[in-house]
Amino acid sequence: MPRSIRERGDFQKRDLEIFQYLWRWKLSTTQAIAYRFFPSPKTAYNRLIELKQRGYIELQVLDSAGWKFAWTLTPKGFRVIQKDLPLLREEGFRSEHSRHDLLVNACHLGQWLGNVQTDQDVFSEQELRRCDFATFPDWVPQSDEHRPDGYWYVPHKGKKLVIALEVELHLKKASDYACCARFYGRNQSITRAVWIAGSVAITEALRSAFDREGTDTAGIHDIIALEDFLKFHWQAVILHGIEQGKTLSFVLGNKPQ
């Protein structure tokens, strides 16, 4: 019987970690992978090219001009780590909306890209979508009613806070935002919902929905403008919400870096 890929010794431990990282976050830039896994961008690039040549990862074009790319798994790469993943209710690994998902990654991981501390945690949209509810950590809401772009779990004054992430690039129907508002109104375990809003129209639609549904009396929702996030990242200032005037870094309990 032919030996498995792992038995042939084709991989370093770091390769498998990269494959799992790409599954969890759907796609990533060379720079982000280098920062997280390698001593230098050059070393990262050389190894990624080798894994690409072997057919385990590939480059996904991000712009119409063909100048921007991100790494993603191939079916072959997914099969390598599939048995190591939690029990899945839905198989899959690709990003259907690459720009959106890269922004989610940048916002979700931020200053934690290199390492998430032991008293912090994150749960990605991929995990929310693909993993069986039985494998969810006990702090992650189990619901198909609405799926945020992920959750943070952060310490605050001796307890832990569950903070949802929503990256909203395109204006949706008022009924969609009403459903979101009701979801957060019913899930009291979610302390905050941080929205990255792609336009003033989206910001106003969100505020209208929250006011109409009466679900933000405790100040659950914080809204940050996309243009501010792109400039200042976790130091972007919240425009609307109970933490208005504070930064995303403040909400996450993170010290400025």
pLDDT tens profile 7-21? 445 788 999 999 999
Is pLDDT of 197 > 90? yes
pLDDT on residue 165: 98
Long-range contacts of 8-11 (CB under 8 A, 24+ apart): 10/54, 11/80
Is pLDDT of 203 > 90? yes
| Helix/strand/coil for 170 | coil
Strands (E) in the chain, as ranges, are 57-61, 69-73, 121-124, 150-156, 159-168, 190-197, 221-225
Tokens of 132: 């069986």
Is pLDDT of 147 > 80? yes
Is pLDDT of 66 > 80? no
Using pLDDT thresholds of 50, 70 and 90, give the confidence band for residue 3. very low
Assess contact for 216 and 242: CB atoms under 8 A.
no
What does residue 117 show for φ and ψ, rounded to 5 degrees?
-70, 160
